A = this chain, B = another copy of it.
Amino acid sequence: MSTADITSTEVFEPADLGAQLLALIEGGDETAALEFARLLHPADLGAAVASLDTGLRELVLREFEPDELAEVLEFLDPHYRDLLLADLAPEHLAQILPTVTDDIATDVVQELTVSDAVQVVSDMPAASQESIRELVRYAPDTAAGRMTGQHLSVPGNATVEQAIEILRQVPTERRAPTIYVTSEEEKLVGVLNIRALLISASETAVADVAEESVAVAADMDQEDAARLLKQYNVPMLPVVDAEGRVLGTVTADDLLHVLEEEVTEDMFLLAGVNEEEDLESVSRSVRYRLPWLYANLLTVLLAAWVVSLFEGTLERVAVLAAFLPVVAAQGGNAGIQTVTVVIRSLALGRITPRDTLRIVRHEFATGVITGLVSAITVGIVAWLWQDNAWLGGLIAIAVTVDVLIGVVAGVLIPIALNALRQDPAVSAGIWLTTVTDVSGFAVYLGMASLLVTRL
């Protein structure tokens, strides 16, 4: 075992390694480039290669043996994995996948077109075909879709010695398989801790050293599975079918990105972008972003119509127009703050529709304070600037009312969407600004029409 370079104490920036690789390739020294590449950890190598442009990527990929590529795939962030795979021909993939862990091979196959998938899988050895066929049945965003099927089962009446013998016979892999103790009907009875095997007398029955474990249903959402691992603070959990038979194992490291992805999705949806956006394809960006911009356009045209109803007032007091954006911005911003907190709290299960009244009360109280502080500021500015106390008072009232409408709507809209089984992150922001714009302008200009002689 080499102990050189064993301690890496920083996160490599894939783009930096990619740049070093690129410099070697562009310097014409392909041998040096490959030597450099082979020195890297497969995880770093993969990210470095993925950061290259398509042509160069192919150049490098051609030089690698299938087992080298398999190692790279094993470690790669799905974002980079998809970039790398885009360049590989199905025949090439079929050579690589049998040496990759089954869960990753399945993820890869599920990303292919149907015809490529059929081609790739039918080119694989029978045993690999079997395990992929087993796993590919599960949707990729479920516990079963995220699990590895590689595990060992021993009956409860087996001895510690027999369990060790079974463990000895499986080929050594990067990661030790989990050993489950199962009943005669193959139902999960418990999990065998390898350390318990090591320190127990060899004639002990494995049922006596196995540990209880909660299990996750095959079709449980991957996000719920991740939350369960987090709640129970365990590194892995067995996945079972409806009859309680063990299908495989989900591990915390395979789910590390799941919770992150789910928040990112909410964050992106709230801003009207798609989580798949990667600043690479303009047509994709347009397709993802335009619907949201368009929906917002329609609602803001509704607000424009409300403003146009007060054309007469605006003609007489043109400066009223200057404060339209102020009223809309304060109500909209206060409302979006509320929407954001409520959406996250709903996603984390920290609040339910039963809490609506309590949260409305909390937000109303918050809105009274933040609304009044903003309103007094903007009222004084307007008064001094236009030398008209009526105008200042009018704007202050409009801002306060719109902030209160914003925070209350900010609670009710996401909770209502959630109750209607809609994802609140998709449209809550659009509904909210519609409400705050329309009601803010109506209150502001409506009052201004009544007071027009004073302004």
Q: How far is the CB of A266 from chain B (nearest CB, A)?
A: 7
Hey, which chain B residues are within 8 Å of A268, CB to CB?
340-341, 344
Assuming A362-B282, A374-B293, is B198 touching A164 (CB within 8 A)? yes
Query: Residue A336 at the B interface, CB < 8 A?
Result: yes
14 more A-B residue pairs beyond the given contacts A10-B224, A175-B235, A271-B336, with a C-beta to C-beta distance below 8 A: A3-B190, A6-B213, A233-B253, A255-B256, A266-B267, A268-B341, A282-B362, A282-B366, A289-B334, A290-B369, A296-B333, A301-B326, A311-B318, A314-B318
Checking B43, B329, B345, B350 against A296 with a beta-carbon cut-off of 8 angstroms, the contacting residue is B329
Residue of B nearest to A294 (CB): B374
Residue A92 at the B interface, CB < 8 A? no
Instruction: Give me 10 A-to-B residue pairs in the complex whose CB atoms sit less than 8 angstroms apart, sorted by A's number.
Output: A9-B215, A176-B194, A252-B252, A255-B256, A260-B262, A260-B263, A268-B340, A301-B326, A303-B326, A308-B322
Contacts A279-B351, A307-B321; A198 near B167 (Cβ below 8 A): yes
Does A13 have its Cβ within 8 Å of any Cβ on chain B?
yes
Contact A198 B194 (CB under 8 A): yes
A-to-B contact residues, CB < 8 Å = 1-3, 6-11, 13-15, 41, 43-44, 47, 74-75, 77, 79, 164, 167-168, 175-176, 183, 187-190, 193-195, 197-199, 207-208, 210-217, 220, 224, 226-236, 240, 244, 251-257, 259-260, 262-264, 266-268, 270-273, 277-280, 282, 285-286, 289-290, 292-294, 296-297, 300-301, 303-305, 307-308, 311-312, 314-315, 318-326, 328-330, 333-334, 336-337, 339-342, 344-345, 349-352, 354, 358-359, 362-363, 365-366, 369-370, 373-374, 377-378, 381, 433, 437, 441
Beyond A278-B350, A293-B334, whether A235 also contacts B212 by CB under 8 A is no
Q: Tell me which residues across on chain B come within 8 A of A183, comparing CB atoms.
A: 3
